[in-house]
Chains A and B, each alone.
Chain A
Amino acid sequence: MRESFYRWRKIKSGLVSALCLLCAVLVIAPLGLVFFHLLREGASAVNWSFFTNLPKPVGEIGGGMANAIVGTFELLGIAALIGVPTGVLGGVYLAEYGSVRVNWLLRFICDILNGVPSIIWGIVVYGLIVVPVKSFSALAGGVALGFIMIPLIVRMSEEVLLLVPNGYREAALALGIARWKMTLHIVLKTALKGLVTGVLLALARVAGETAPLLFTAFGNRFWNHNLHDPIAALPLQIFAYAISPYDDWHRQAWAGALVLVSMTFLVNVAVRFLTRSRSAALAK
């Protein structure tokens, strides 16, 4: 009697363990598959000319995505200029100043905005900038990405700022330091690593956005450093090449995807590194 009860318990425990393992594998498998597939299909096309050349006209073999890579960074730069100050200041307001009721409303709005499909942002900016100016532009693309970043960064920086113990705020105020100076020199400085982490994650998140760029940055086969003209971006180029009928372009699309995924991967590794040294410093 006792014996069988024991066996049944062991079987149950084994079953549940196996189930957990299966789920873990299911979670990790897509990442492995994606990387494996990207490497197999794209690695051969990732070479020096991929990073330095412009796309070749249809039919010619070779060429690269130099303009799209640089374009992605330009778009991220514009997005950061809009999203980082606005987002961080919004987070500062929520964590340091706002009243209970206003904060509730702001958080609610941010959470809704975070759930808005990114293509909607493209349409919004299309209406706001592209239509009045009558031209797709790098500026419009950057603004669309920036808009996506704002609610992300507001929520992340609020959480990071709330992690700063209240004792530091009180200590600073008890010295007769003005509130805004306390926020700037004590709270933001203490939370700096967390804020950088949040910003990097938000940048990594929008770096791969394609839909909001379709109606805004539009894409460009050539170099463009003028904010008022359409600009190339990696996700757009990947999209354009992937739906084309040419084998060489397909290879290049794989290569572009590999580069994009590697970039986000590197950012995530950097973030891990930053947060690790932060928790080590706090543990002291």
Chain B
Amino acid sequence: MKNVMEHESTISADTAALHAMTDAEQSPAIAFEVNDLSVWYGQKQTIFNTTIDIPAQSVTAIIGPSGCGKSTFLRCLNRMHELVPTARHEGSIRLFGEDLYAPKIDPCVVRRRIGMVFQKSNPFPTMSIAENVIVGLRLNGVRDRAYLDERMEKALRMAALWDEVKNDLNRPGISLSGGQQQRLCIARAVAVEPEIILMDEPCSALDPIATAKVEELIYELKKQYTIVIVTHNMQQAGRCSDYTAFFYLGRLIEFAKTEKIFTNPSQKQTEDYITGRFG
């Protein structure tokens, strides 16, 4: 336990250093440009005219009370909301300048570039640990065994799972513990080498130690990826994100550097939520 605490403090120290760095530079590169996004499920509107620029190579946390549309917003970013037959949206989302919803864009390609980790860990029950990690590559047509093995090891190392499973890669994925399963799902998502990783409450079913591992991992992944993470845990948002977006009743209330949101929010609602007065 002591170890974990130490880790956390080093992480936040580093994060602070990084904030200082980015502060010094001019505005960072933008990954997602979301412009005037509105989303409906059937007749019911759940996201209202949201405009936001999500920076690349950093962690953006999305916070807000239950039902405010965090998951919906996240799923719009990789076109997963289209799986709900009644869902409909207006407005545009660009990734590095490219319109994700242009008619000639294949949603499969979008989702290959933008990976996703879900709240409930969901390794494929018919597959071993190894197969779970490489399934994205294999079903996208990669055949080369040696290459697959290499990518599998790399992904498992990135997910901080390699040392725990390297001796039984052929065990079923669902035989792992809950925390290990969630890291397996992260390995599965990074194995296809996406540019962005979306996480929807990835730690809500994990104990503090597994949570710390996943947070550490997020910190590692940030070096290569843009990460957007939905969380209900204020401390988590504070610990591992560079930017924070606060949603309330389907509207983006405030978006700023995490430090600013947590120390000096400009909106009354943000302050009330963060200090626990509602939500």
Which residues of A line the B interface, CB within 8 A?
99-100, 165, 167-178, 181-182, 185-186, 189-190, 192, 281-282, 284
Contact B108 A177 (CB under 8 A): yes
Which residues of B line the A interface, CB within 8 A?
78, 80, 83, 85, 108-113, 115-116, 118, 120, 122, 124-126, 135-136, 139-140, 174-175, 185, 188-189, 192
- Give the distance in Å from the alpha carbon of A282 to the alpha carbon of B188 in the complex: 21
* A167 in contact with B192 given A173-B80, A176-B108 (CB within 8 Å): no
Contact B120 A178 (CB under 8 A): no
Among A167, A174, A284, point to the contact of B189 (Cβ < 8 A): A174
Q: Can you report 7 A-B residue pairs in the complex whose CB atoms are below 8 A from each other?
A: A100-B85, A167-B122, A176-B109, A176-B140, A177-B136, A178-B139, A190-B124
* CB of A168, distance to nearest CB on chain B (Å): 6
Contact A284 B135 (CB under 8 A): no
Chain A residues closer than 8 Å to B135, beta-carbon distance:
172, 175, 177, 185
Contact A171 B124 (CB under 8 A): yes
Contact A190 B78 (CB under 8 A): no
Give 6 new A-B contacts, CB below 8 A, not counting A167-B120, A176-B112. A170-B80, A170-B83, A175-B135, A176-B113, A176-B140, A177-B139
* Residue on B nearest A193 in the bound complex, by CB: B126
Contact B136 A173 (CB under 8 A): no
Contact A174 B78 (CB under 8 A): yes
Most B-side CB within 10 Å, residue of A177, A192, A282: A177
Contact A181 B124 (CB under 8 A): no
Can you list the 4 inter-chain pairs with the closest CB atoms, starting with the nearest? A176-B112, A175-B136, A174-B116, A167-B122
* CB of B252, distance to nearest CB on chain A (Å): 24
Contact A176 B124 (CB under 8 A): no
Contact A174 B80 (CB under 8 A): yes
Contact A175 B83 (CB under 8 A): no
Contact A170 B118 (CB under 8 A): yes
